[in-house]
Amino acid sequence: MARRKSSPAPVAGLQAGTFEISTGTAELVADDFYPNAWTLMINGVPSSHIQIGRPEELDFEYMRWIAAIMESFVDAHFDPAALRVTHLGGAACSLPRYFAQLWPDSRHTVVELDAKLATLVREWFDIPRSPTVKIRVGEAGEVTRSFLAGSRDVLIRDVFAGAVTPPDLTTASFFRAAHSSLAAGGLYLANCGDHSDLQGAKAELAGMAEVFEHLAVIADPPMLKGRRYGNIILIGSDRELPAEGSPQASAISRRLLKGAVPAQYKDEAWTRKFFSGAKSR
């Protein structure tokens, strides 16, 4: 098991309030259920949750789903001591902070559009310092297209403008750039917010299928049945992903069922039927 190391302490006297940032406002809301815990709202949308001193705690369910598939994949195929992860979309850096705690020698680059927000979250929260977690200010699509080929092992897209992923990050062109940036057998994960018709997720998967050999998804059953707006995690790799009934898929499913919002892992066979007929953007 990897050793764990402490994160830097946040600035003392953190207080709730609304703050101007480069793209609007950031609001810190104290959590009534956990001590020294905060929700970060960006332009009115919940964007991150942090428990100071407890980076291993992920409050947002979709982040737990990302952690479940990523940990399974990394444990099976990568050396955590040499792991290179890029996070498109930063907010309070909840996931980089979590993975840096889990794998202390891994390296994380966070691409955050808002320069002022990047400065504030460093001041507010116990985010590991660079080079463990490096925050790079820039637009996610532009930065992704600048990456050297094969320069990272995992790429996580969690970018929203309000409740919508910017269209430029949902195109076949973007997926080609993301795919090119990954080392052989690397992993691409995307947090897709979609409506009940699931047309956005299906179009994204169709685009991903043009560049990734293998696909899978994670979401809760009501979302997969098209009953509401919610999050669906899109998974792509050139390495074979766990098939239904395999020990690895069963282990992922057991973990997903333990959350407050139980989710399901759907393998490649299910996923390809799910987006059959959809067209990429």
String of DSSP letters for the chain: -----PPPPPPSS---EEEEETTEEEEEEE-SSSTTEEEEEETTEEEEEEETT-TT---SHHHHHHHHHHHHHHHHH--GGG-EEEEE--TT-HHHHHHHHHSTT-EEEEEES-HHHHHHHHHHS-PPPTTTEEEEES-HHHHHHHSPTT-EEEEEE---BTTB--GGGGSHHHHHHHHHHEEEEEEEEEEEEE-TT-HHHHHHHHHHHTT-SEEEEEE-HHHHTT-S-EEEEEEEESSPPPPTTSHHHHHHHHHHTTSSS--EEE-HHHHHHHTTT----
Q: Is the pLDDT of residue 5 over 60?
A: no
User: Residue 224: what pLDDT?
Assistant: 87
Considering only 1-15, 114-128, 202-216, 267-281, which range has the smallest mean pLDDT?
1-15
Position with higher pLDDT, 261 vs 95 = 95
- Per-residue pLDDT, 13: 66
What confidence score (pLDDT) does residue 163 get? 75
CA distance 87 to 95: 8
pLDDT at 230: 87
- Mean pLDDT over residues 165-190, rounded? 97
**Segment 260-275, tens digit of pLDDT:** 899 999 999 999 999 9
Per residue in 80-101, is it b (16+ CB within 10 Å) or e — as a string?
Answer: beebbbbbbbbbbbbbbbbbbb
At residue 4, the pLDDT reads 41
Could you read off the pLDDT of 146-172 as tens digits, one per residue? 999 999 999 999 998 877 899 999 999
Among 61-65, 196-200, 240-244, the least confident range: 196-200
For residue 141, CA distances in Å to 88, 168, 231 come to 9, 7, 21
Which residue ranges make up each domain of the chain? 58-274
pTM over 0.85: yes
Average the pLDDT over 15-25 and give the result. 95
What is the band of 77 on the pLDDT scale with cuts at 50, 70, 90?
A: very high
Asked if the model's pLDDT at residue 35 lies above 80, the reply is yes
**Residue 8 CA: distances (Å) to CA of 15, 97, 128, 156:** 18, 11, 6, 24
Supply 182's token pair: 């990954």
CB atoms inside a 10 Å sphere around CB 153: 24
> Is pLDDT at 2 greater than 80 in this prediction?
no
- pLDDT score for 8: 54
β-strand partners of 152: 182
Q: Are 25 and 162 in contact (CB under 8 A)?
A: no
Best CATH choice for the domain 58-274 from the list 3.40.50.150, 3.40.120.10, 2.30.40.10, 3.40.50.970: 3.40.50.150
pLDDT class for 178, splitting at 50, 70, 90?
very high
